[in-house]
């Protein structure tokens, strides 16, 4: 009820913001990307292809906003900024003479009218998995929030392989444009072969979603593929920080599905290597996903270090124990000595820098250390304060001290 009352206020703000900035979205072809996972990569890929095929385009994503060629920080833990910032960025893009605007859009933003007043040229739902249920209360409400994007789009593009597809089919009254790797769909394409490069399965979906968008915008197929070949994953997305006698990767994965897919990809690509997984779970998010995150990790990881991730006012030990319940379902045991011995074991090291250090201290030749949850983010929230944090820098500092 409280959120519903707040949303009346948010809707009022949206009306004012649209009037104040003169409805700038009407001068642009706005492409909205929503979904639990894959939003950022898909958004940046569309932006990259449009830019590299000669189109004027701007972008808002969880990594940054890029408007008229200039980069802006969108703030701590924020994907879609407030409605006033969204409208301001749209106006800046329109004033620059941009043709397209790619807008990464969260379910919170859709529910809170942050993108209200925008008629999207294309709306995309990448997937809808277990996340944000503390806000939406149940999965159906979560799907309904995502479908709001499609209801305000000329073209609606969805992943026919995702668990959300039957729900979207029932909720959305218009025609859906579908893409798939497995089933009959409007677009069923093996982009790995077209691009001549292997892609993890989850990124095949991201690339395919971006490809369908670019096709619907009328771009030439050969130009799309040529542009995609030059795309580099954004910071904190399967980013290799070190790859010599062992490998260290950082990734933003922070949902059960994302963790599962990232670790599955590593296990499939490097079947004989030991995977050491360092991660935690944020507070004031979906508490019920914590054991599921543990189960996802336990499916493929060999050793796990549970640590902090924006615990805010919650006890980080409690968060770690809730994740550990999922690990134990997969046969993991708490390392009794506090050090890894053999078999599937986990330890709890709340301080994230020390957790990074422990992972690197325990690494063997050929092992893979993967840190998930923070990715590109530049802070850790402890209590009510944001503390500077750079995952990549933390790894580099740990490596430097190891070599002394």
CATH class of 2-229: alpha beta
Q: Name the phi and psi angles at 397, rounded to 5.
A: -65, -40
Q: Give the global pTM.
A: 0.91
Q: What is the pLDDT of residues 288-334, one digit of tens each?
A: 999 999 999 999 999 999 999 999 999 999 999 999 999 999 999 99
**What CATH number was assigned to the domain covering residues 239-403?**
3.90.190.20
Average pLDDT on 14-35 reads 96
The pLDDT of residue 237: 92
Strands (DSSP E) found in 5-161? 29-34, 57-60, 65-67, 70-72, 100-104, 120-125, 153-159
pLDDT at 87 over 90: yes
CA 282 to chain centre: 14
The pLDDT of residue 262: 97
Closest to 37 measured CA to CA, from 109, 115, 119, 132? 132
CA-based end-to-end distance of the chain = 57
pLDDT at 250 over 80: yes
The pLDDT of residue 79: 73
So where are the chain's domains?
2-229, 239-403
Of 67-81, 165-179, 373-387, 388-402, which range is least confident? Answer: 67-81
**pLDDT over 70, % of the chain:** 97
Q: Could you tell me the pLDDT band of residue 394, with boundaries at 50, 70 and 90?
A: very high
The pLDDT of residue 11: 84
pLDDT at 345 over 60: yes
Q: What is the pLDDT of residues 144-175, one digit of tens each?
A: 999 999 999 999 999 999 999 999 999 999 99
**pLDDT over 90, % of the chain:** 83
Average pLDDT on 343-372 reads 97
């Amino acid at each position: 009820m409280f959120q519903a009352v707040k949303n009346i206020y948010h809707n009022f703000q949206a009306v004012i913001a649209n009037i104040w900035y003169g409805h700038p979205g009407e001068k642009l072809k706005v492409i909205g990307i929503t979904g639990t996972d894959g939003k950022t990569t898909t958004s940046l890929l569309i932006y990259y292809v449009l830019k590299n095929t000669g189109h004027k385009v701007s972008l808002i994503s969880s990594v940054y906003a890029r408007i008229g060629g200039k980069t802006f920080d969108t703030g701590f833990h924020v994907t879609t900024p407030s409605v006033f910032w969204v409208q301001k960025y749209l106006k800046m893009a329109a004033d620059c003479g941009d043709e397209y605007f790619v807008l990464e859009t969260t379910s919170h933003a859709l529910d809170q009218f942050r993108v209200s007043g925008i008629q999207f040229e294309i709306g995309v739902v990448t997937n809808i998995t277990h996340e944000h249920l503390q806000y939406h209360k149940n999965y159906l409400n979560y799907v309904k929030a995502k479908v709001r994007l499609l209801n305000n789009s000329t073209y609606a593009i969805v992943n026919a392989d995702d668990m959300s597809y039957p729900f979207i089919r029932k909720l959305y009254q218009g025609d859906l444009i579908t893409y798939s790797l497995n089933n009959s769909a409007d677009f069923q394409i093996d982009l790995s072969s077209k691009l001549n490069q292997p892609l993890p399965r989850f990124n095949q979906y991201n690339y395919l979603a971006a490809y369908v968008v670019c096709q619907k915008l009328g771009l030439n197929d050969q130009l799309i593929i040529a542009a995609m070949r030059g795309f580099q994953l954004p910071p904190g997305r399967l980013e290799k920080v070190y790859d010599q006698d062992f490998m260290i990767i950082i990734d933003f994965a922070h949902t059960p599905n994302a963790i599962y897919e990232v670790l599955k990809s590593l296990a499939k690509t490097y079947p004989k290597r030991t995977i050491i997984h360092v991660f935690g779970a944020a507070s004031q998010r979906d508490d019920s996903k914590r054991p599921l995150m543990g189960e996802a990790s336990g499916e493929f990881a060999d050793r796990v270090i549970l640590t902090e991730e924006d615990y805010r006012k919650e006890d980080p030990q409690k968060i770690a124990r809730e994740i550990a319940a999922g690990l134990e379902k997969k046969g993991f045991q708490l390392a009794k000595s506090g050090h890894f011995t053999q078999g599937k074991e986990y330890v709890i090291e709340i301080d994230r820098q020390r957790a990074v250090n422990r992972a690197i201290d325990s690494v063997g030749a050929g092992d893979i250390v993967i840190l998930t949850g923070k990715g590109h983010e530049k802070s850790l929230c402890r209590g009510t304060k944001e503390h500077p944090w750079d995952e990549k820098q933390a790894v580099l500092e740990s490596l430097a001290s190891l070599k002394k």
